[in-house]
Structure 1
Amino acid sequence: MTDYFRQISSAKDTYERIATEAGAKANGSTLNLAIKAVLGGWMVGLGGYAASFIASLYYVPNTSNASSKAAFAIVFPVALMSILFTGSDLYTGNTMCFTFALFNRKINALTYVLKLMVSIAGNFLGTCLGALVLTGGTGHFMKDTGPGAEFMMSLARAKTSPPFWRIMLSAVGCNSLVCLAVWTFYSSYDSAGACLNTLAHIGAFAVAGLEHIIANFYILNAALLSRSGISFVDVYVHNFIPTLLGNTFAGICVLGIPLSLLYNNPSKEATLEYSRSLRSMQRTNSGEIVVNTTGTYM
């Protein structure tokens, strides 16, 4: 008989691991972080283009477009999976992770602010590169000629027409899900569980149409390149500002600070032992439980 055991780490261990890795990233080379952030933005562009491409195939004007939204939600999570598995960088996840490192006294306030700025700047460059190469290069969403033009125009209008406060509140919900995806990724003992957790959380925000600043960097710059009927002010003022504020608030105040208050213990060093992260339990013929602690995380 095989005994059941949890395939996730404890919340305390997950917190400590994220804080430790975030501290190492923030205290590391600025150039290294910038490269990781550009790569992260590029990966969001890849996921955003692929998701938008397949969603455009199911798009029907003046309908609920449930199939189109579902298609987008299934494909887009590949962006965060790629970022997490390659160790690249995503600003929205950093708002929570760097907050953990700050509370855990692994970084100071100046490093916290500066590295978040480097992160979002790199993500912006990466997504702009994605918009230029993928959307501009393929022409799939180009007005009057691209087969996905109508979908892109509808998506761009939906992201730029709501009032400031609605976009900001949508962004709060969005980054709450993104940060939870990062948390559950780190808490999973195997890559399959990490992928399923990421798919669930990122798919949830994508199908709900919530606002994510890095995804919007790609989508709305792609819309500008595709001449989708929106202006620079629509994109950079009406969407980017409230989305950035909402995402940042969620990562810091909704999850970063509360989880730090729950699980941070600055008087003790982090005692993460990765050799204990993956536990395999077997029952011997005598009925004794044997715990194998030789495994490692993923």
Structure 2
Amino acid sequence: METEHTTLIQWCNGKTHKGFLSLFFASILAGAYIGFASQLFTLLTASSGLSFGLSQILGGLIFSVGLIFVVLGKADLFTGNCLLSYSCYDSTSSWLLTLKNWVVVYVGNFLGALLLIGLYHASGLLASGQGIIAERAYAIASAKMSLAFIPALSRGILCNWLVCFAVLLCIYSENNLTKLLVIPAPILTFVALGYEHSVANMYFLPAGIVAQGYISVEKLLSWGNIFRNLLPVTLGNIIGGIVFVSLFYWVIQGKSAK
């Protein structure tokens, strides 16, 4: 257990001591990478013709490319970085560094998602498939924006329990091949079951708003509604990461290493 504890502490220290520009640009990339995965999910679930369950499972599998891009591309993802709280149980002074990291990464992730949406909109590809992509993007955003606070919070907790678990497995992996093997299972699970990921929603929600212009629907989605979803989902993601992964594994392996 001591080796695992040391490995995770070293990972936390490396993340929290990154320079501002390095962290910020790595965060923009992560937001875009998750956005690419969200686009693939939209495409597959819009045109698969499969049953709901199988479509969700395959959508979850293809969405896992997002975390693969993030991990192998050395990017910084807010949901994964919730695992930084692991080091805070050893030293409360680590909370300030962790919170600073979260703020920079959250903003960078959002900018990366918006950058991708802007380029995707400019490409005209939202009109692909005779509007089927825009219709699916709108449907996804509508469903997310209609969630009440507690369901959104709960789905956020469940989501990041699995995302941080996937990141934990990657930290313990000895090489990139092992990371490729351990990422899909937790990510497939959270996506297929309909849990809520704040960074994915940074893409899905604005994409749905933009998609309204491509289809004949009443313009019910607005930019102001985005944070009705992002607030509870983000809080849920933080709770899921700092409690069910960071705290639990600190108790399991951190305390036993002392």
Same fold (TM over 0.5): yes
Shift in CA distance, 206/193, structure 1 to aligned 2, threshold 3 Å: same
- Asked whether the equivalents of residues 140 and 147 of structure 1 are also in contact (C-alpha less than 8 Å), the reply is no
Give the drift of 1:99: 1.0
- Asked whether the equivalents of residues 57 and 189 of structure 2 are also in contact (C-alpha less than 8 Å), the reply is no
Indicate which of 66, 81, 85 corresponds to 2:68. 81
1:102-130 residue CA offsets vs partner (Å, 9 max, x unmatched): 23449633212111111111111111111
- How far apart, in 2, do the equivalents of 1:157 and 1:18 lie? 38
Q: Does 1:254 align with 2:239?
A: no
- How far apart, in 2, do the equivalents of 1:138 and 1:50 lie? 16
Q: Does 1:196 align with 2:186?
A: no
- SS of the residue 2:131 aligns to: coil
Q: Which has the larger radius of gyration?
A: 1
- How far apart, in 2, do the equivalents of 1:216 and 1:19 lie? 29
Q: Does 1:69 align with 2:56?
A: yes
- Asked whether the equivalents of residues 56 and 68 of structure 1 are also in contact (C-alpha less than 8 Å), the reply is no
TM-score normalised by L of structure 1? 0.77
Indicate which of 151, 156, 162 corresponds to 1:171. 156
- Asked whether the equivalents of residues 171 and 246 of structure 1 are also in contact (C-alpha less than 8 Å), the reply is yes
What are the within-5 Å matches in structure 2 for residues 90-109 of structure 1? 90-96=77-83, 98-105=84-91, 108-109=94-95
Matched letter for residue 191 of structure 1: N
- Asked whether the equivalents of residues 79 and 238 of structure 2 are also in contact (C-alpha less than 8 Å), the reply is yes
Shift in CA distance, 107/85, structure 1 to aligned 2, threshold 3 Å: farther
1:172-202 residue CA offsets vs partner (Å, 9 max, x unmatched): 0000000011111122334333222211110
Shift in CA distance, 158/149, structure 1 to aligned 2, threshold 3 Å: same
Match of 1:19 in 2: 9
- How far apart, in 1, do the equivalents of 2:131 and 2:48 lie? 15
Shift in CA distance, 104/69, structure 1 to aligned 2, threshold 3 Å: same
Shift in CA distance, 66/138, structure 1 to aligned 2, threshold 3 Å: farther
* More off after superposition, 26-35 vs 99-108: 99-108
Q: Does 1:128 align with 2:117?
A: no
- Asked whether the equivalents of residues 64 and 187 of structure 2 are also in contact (C-alpha less than 8 Å), the reply is yes
Matched letter for residue 28 of structure 1: K
Shift in CA distance, 107/88, structure 1 to aligned 2, threshold 3 Å: farther
1:255-291 residue CA offsets vs partner (Å, 9 max, x unmatched): 21222233225997xxxxxxxxxxxxxxxxxxxxxxx
- Asked whether the equivalents of residues 171 and 212 of structure 1 are also in contact (C-alpha less than 8 Å), the reply is yes
- How far apart, in 1, do the equivalents of 2:47 and 2:148 lie? 29
| Greater per-residue helix proportion | 2
Match of 1:41 in 2: 31
Q: Percent identity?
A: 25
Structure 2: gaps (5+ residues): 213-218
Matched letter for residue 156 of structure 1: A
- How far apart, in 2, do the equivalents of 1:229 and 1:139 lie? 22
Matched letter for residue 233 of structure 1: G
TM-score normalised by L of structure 2? 0.88
1:226-248 residue CA offsets vs partner (Å, 9 max, x unmatched): 127422233222x1111011001
Q: Does 1:214 align with 2:205?
A: no
Match of 2:216 in 1: none
Match of 1:291 in 2: none
Aligned length: 252
Give the drift of 1:156: 1.4
Q: Does 1:150 align with 2:135?
A: yes
